[in-house]
A and B are shown apart, each in its own frame.
Chain A
Amino acid sequence: MNTMNRRNFLKLTTAATAAVASFGAGTAFAKDAAHIVVIGGGVGGATFAKYMKMYSPETKVTIVEKNKEYQRPYGSSEVVVGRLDMKDITISYDALKNKHGVNFVFDTVTGVDYDTREVKTAGGTTLKYDRLLVSPGVSFDYSQIPGMDSPEAQSKILHGWDSGDQLLTLQKQLQAVPVDGTVVVIPPPNPYRCPPGPYERSGLIAQWFINRGDKNAKVIILDPKNGFTVDVTMLQAWNRLYGFNLPESFKGYTAEERATFKKFDNPGKIQWIPAAEGGRVIKIDADNKTVECEAGVFKADMINLIPPLKAGKIALDMGLADKSGWCPVDQKTFESTIQPNVHVIGDSCIAGQMPKSGYAANSQAKVAALQIKALLAGQEPIEPAFQNTCYALAGQDDYGMFVADFFRLKDGKITRDEYARYLPFNASDAQYRLSAVYLRAWMNSFTNDIFA
C-alpha cells in the first residue's frame, strides 16, 4: 500500500465512523454508508442527488431545501409574457424522493460546523455529513447602482431572475404598459446566470407588443457589455423580425456579414445600446421609471433590471466565496479550495470558461457525483468532461437558437473546445425553427434528467 492509498484509507475510516455516529444502530443504511448533505434543491443539487444515488446507491443523500416544490428559472421569461403559468414551471420533488431514494429536509440552513461536519437548520435538525455539496444559485448586488439601494426601489424595479412571484409582478407590469410604451431591459455585467436570457426576454417582450397589435411600443436594452452569448445569431434574427438596426460598434460580424443586414429608417421594436455606445447605467429613479446612462436619460413605462450577481447568499454566509463574490473550487472535483470536504457547484462556483447556466450546473453535478464516489472509495478522481447547451428564443415562439460547448480540463483550467458553437451565419428560417423545436424538446428532457 503506497502512502496515498494509506492516507485515503485513514480518511475513509474516519468518514465511516462519522456516518455511524450520525445514524446509529437501526437505520436502513449499512453502517459504513457515507452521508452526503446537499444544500439547495435547484438544478445543481437535484441533479447531483439523483446521479449520486444512481452511481452509488449505497450512499445516503439528503437535500436541504426551503421550498417544497421547485420553480424552474430556465425558460421562466415565458411567464412574464403570459405564455406560461407558474404551474407550468413548477416541478415536484416526488420522483427524487420516491423513485431515487433521496432524503429531503424542507428547511433553511442556519449554521455549519466544518470541524464536526454538521449542518444545522432553522427547524432544529442537525445533519452530519461526510461530504457537503452546496448549490445555492445566485444573489443580487444592488450596491453599485445609485437609486436602487433601498427595499422600496427593489420592490418597484424587479429582476425576475430567480423565478418566484417576481415573474407574475413583471407580467402585471408589462400588461400595464400603455400603447406605444417603452420597456427598458438592463442586463447585468459578466459573469451572470443564463447569458442569453436578458436578450431572449427582450425579444419575448417585443413579440408580445406585436401580438397585441402595438405598432410603436419598443424594448430598449441598456447594456454594460458589448456582446453576449448567441449575439451573432440573436441580432440577425432581430434584424429579420423586429426592424432591429445593428449598432455601429458591434464587432461580432465580418464586413461581408454586416453588409447583409437590413437598415431601417426608424428604430425598431428592439434597440440595443451596448457599453461602447453609452449603455452603462449611471442612475435609476425607481419612482419616475427613468434610467440615466452614459448615452442619456431614458423614460420608461417599465424597467426590468437584472443587477450584478454574486454567489448564493448561503455560500457567502458560509465563507465559501472569495473577493470576486464567487466560490473558488478545485476544477476536477468541485471541492472548495477554502473548506475541505465541501463542494460547490452551479452558478455559485468559479468553473473556468463554463457559463452560469442550468445545463452547466447539471453537467457539473454529474462530474461531482462521479468524483465524490471515487473519493469516498479512496480512489483518485478521473479526468472530467463537461457540456453546456443553452437554447433561446428570438421572441417569436417558433424562432430559436442555441449555444453548444464542450469543456475539458487543460492546464488545470476548465477550457472550452474550440469549434463552431452557434447556428451558422445566415442560417435559414427553417434552421431557426428547428432550433425552437429542439428548445421545446430540451425543456422536457432536461427537466426529466434532473427531477424524473
Chain B
Amino acid sequence: MNYSLTGILGAALGLAFLSQTAAAETANNLAQSPRSAMLAQTCAGCHGTQGHLQNNAFMPLAGMPTTQFMNAMKSFADGSRPSTVMGPLAQAFSADEIKAMAAYFAQFPKNEAQ
C-alpha cells in the first residue's frame, strides 16, 4: 500500500516535473524563435533595442513579465487603457503574436544597458 502510494506520488511528481520542463522549453522556444524576434523588432524604434530603454516616456519592455505585457496589449487594443499611439497599434496583433512578443521580451534582463 505504502509502496504503491509512493509509486503513484512519485509518478505524479514526475509528471508534474516533466510538464513544467516542457512548458519552460516551449516558452524558451517561443522566446527564441525568429518569428518572435520578427514581431518584436517592430517595437524597438520607440521601446529600444530588445526593449532596453534609456528614457521614461515609453515603457521598457525588456524583462517585463509575460502576463503584464499581454494584459497591457489587450487593454490598449480594447480601449480600456487610454493611449495615443498604442491603442491603434495594439489592434494589429493576434493573441498568438502578442504571446510571442511577450515571450521574446521576457527573456531579457531588466535595466541592462543597451
Contacts and interface: CB of A to CB of B under 8 A. Distances in A.
Nearest to B57: A441
A107 B57 CA distance: 38
Interface stretch (B2-10, B17-25, B38-46, B67-75): B38-46
B49 A370 contact: no
Given A404-B89, A440-B57, A446 B46 contact: yes
Interface stretch (A86-94, A146-154, A238-246, A415-423): A415-423
A244 B63 CA distance: 47
Interface in A426-452: 431, 434-435, 437-438, 440-442, 444-446, 448-449, 452
Contact of A54 (B49, B55, B57): B49
Given A419-B92, A445-B46, A366 B41 contact: yes
B37 interface: yes
Contacts of A431: 84
Interface in A19-55: 50-51, 54-55
A175 to B, nearest CB: 32
Give the one of A51, A423, A445, A448 with max B CB within 10 A.
A445
A361 to B, nearest CB: 10
Given A370-B34, A370-B37, A382-B35, A448 B49 contact: yes
A367 interface: yes
Nearest to B39: A385
B31 interface: no
B80 interface: no
B47 to A, nearest CB: 7
A383 B38 contact: yes
B49 A441 contact: no
A209 interface: no
A367 B38 contact: yes
A192 interface: no
